[in-house]
C-alpha cells in the first residue's frame, strides 16, 4: 500500500471503531471544554448505577495535522463494557493550531474533564503517535498555572514521539512551522524532571509496535529509559506482530494482545 492508502485505511478503521462505540450506549457529543471551535470532546458512558467509575482520556494522533475525535471513540469498545468512562478529545490541528496551542488545549481539556467528573474513581490518559506525545506533555504539566491539579493514576503512551527536534526538517513540520525553541519546550524528553514532580504516582506504560519505524522504536526506548532512570513507575511494552497503525486500531478486537492484557484495565483493577 502507498503511504496515502495506509493513512486512509487507518482513518477508516478508527472511524468504524468509533461507530461501534457510539452504538454501545450513552454518549455526550461535542461537549465544549473551551471557547474555541476545536475545543470539544466526546464522552462515552457505561450503563451502570455506580458513580465511582474510572475515566480514560484518549488523545488522537495524526502528526498534529489530521484525525479528530470523530475517529477517536474506538477506545471505548473494550472499556465501556467494563464500566469505564471514555473521553475523546479534539484540538486544533495544524495549520490552524501550532504546537504551543495544541499542547495548551489538551492540558485545558484534562482540567475541564476533572472539573466535570470530580466523582470518578481514577483518571487515566492514553494517546497514540502524536497523541502519545501530547499525553506525555500532559504528564509534564506545571499544574500550579491551572485551577486544579489532576491526579492521573495511569498513562498509556502508544508509539509516541517524545523528542520533536528530529521532525523539524521533515514534511511533518511544514504546517506546524516549529522553531527549535518551540520544539525543545514541547519535547517530553526535556521535561522529565517536571514529570517527576507532577506525576510521580502515575503508572506509565510506554508501548511500541514491533514493526514501528526505527525512529519510533528508538524514541520510545530512550524515553522509557529516561523515566526509569528518574525512578518513575514505568513499563515498556513491545507489542508483537503490530505496526504503527494497527497497534492502536486493534484495541477493538477482544483477542488482541493489548486488549487481552489490557494495561489500562489492569491499572484500574478491572481485569
User: Which spans in the chain are helix H?
Assistant: 3-24, 76-80, 99-116, 130-139, 173-176, 180-185, 192-198, 214-229, 246-249, 257-260, 263-268
- Return the SS3 of 106: helix
Q: Cα separation of 151 and 83, whole Å?
A: 20
Buried b (16+ CB within 10 A) or exposed e, 173-206: bebbebeeebbebbbbbbbbebbeebbeebbbbb
Contact 247, 239 (CB under 8 A): yes
Cα–Cα distances in angstroms (integers) from residue 92 to residues 74, 85, 196, in the given order: 20, 24, 28
Q: Cα separation of 201 and 199, whole Å?
A: 6
Cα–Cα distances in angstroms (integers) from residue 141 to residues 145, 148, 191, in the given order: 9, 11, 9
Cα–Cα distances in angstroms (integers) from residue 80 to residues 37, 63, 83, 252, in the given order: 27, 27, 5, 11
The grid coordinates of residue 143 equal 499544574
Catalytically annotated residues: 129, 212, 244
How many CA within 13 A on the CB side of residue 13? 16
Amino acid at each position: 500500500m502507498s503511504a496515502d492508502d495506509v493513512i486512509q485505511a487507518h482513518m477508516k478503521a478508527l472511524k468504524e471503531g468509533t461507530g461501534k462505540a457510539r452504538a454501545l450506549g450513552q454518549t455526550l457529543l461535542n461537549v465544549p471544554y473551551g471557547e474555541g471551535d476545536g475545543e470539544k470532546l466526546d464522552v462515552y458512558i457505561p450503563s451502570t448505577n455506580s458513580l465511582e467509575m474510572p475515566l480514560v482520556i484518549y488523545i488522537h494522533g495524526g502528526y498534529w495535522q489530521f484525525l479528530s475525535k470523530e475517529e477517536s471513540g474506538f477506545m471505548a469498545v473494550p472499556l465501556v463494557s467494563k464500566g469505564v468512562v471514555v473521553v475523546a478529545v479534539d484540538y486544533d490541528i495544524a495549520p490552524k493550531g501550532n504546537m504551543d496551542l495544541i499542547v495548551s488545549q489538551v492540558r485545558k481539556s484534562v482540567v475541564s474533564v476533572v472539573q466535570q467528573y470530580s466523582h470518578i474513581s481514577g483518571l487515566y490518559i492514553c494517546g497514540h503517535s502524536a497523541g502519545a506525545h501530547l499525553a506525555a506533555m500532559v504528564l509534564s504539566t506545571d499544574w500550579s498555572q491551572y485551577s486544579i491539579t489532576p491526579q492521573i493514576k495511569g498513562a498509556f503512551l502508544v508509539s509516541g514521539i517524545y523528542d520533536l527536534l528530529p521532525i523539524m526538517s521533515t514534511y511533518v513540520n511544514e504546517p506546524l512551522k516549529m522553531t527549535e525553541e518551540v520544539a525543545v519546550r514541547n519535547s517530553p524528553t526535556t521535561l522529565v524532571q517536571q514529570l517527576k514532580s507532577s506525576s510521580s504516582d502515575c503508572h506509565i506504560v510506554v508501548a511500541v509496535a514491533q514493526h514501528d519505524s526505527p525512529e519510533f522504536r528508538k524514541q520510545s526506548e530512550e524515553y522509557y529509559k529516561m523515566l526509569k532512570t528518574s525512578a518513575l513507575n514505568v513499563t515498556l511494552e513491545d507489542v508483537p506482530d503490530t505496526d504503527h497503525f494497527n497497534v492502536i486500531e486493534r484495541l477493538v478486537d477482544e483477542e488482541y494482545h493489548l486488549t487481552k492484557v489490557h494495561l489500562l484495565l489492569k491499572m484500574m483493577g478491572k481485569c
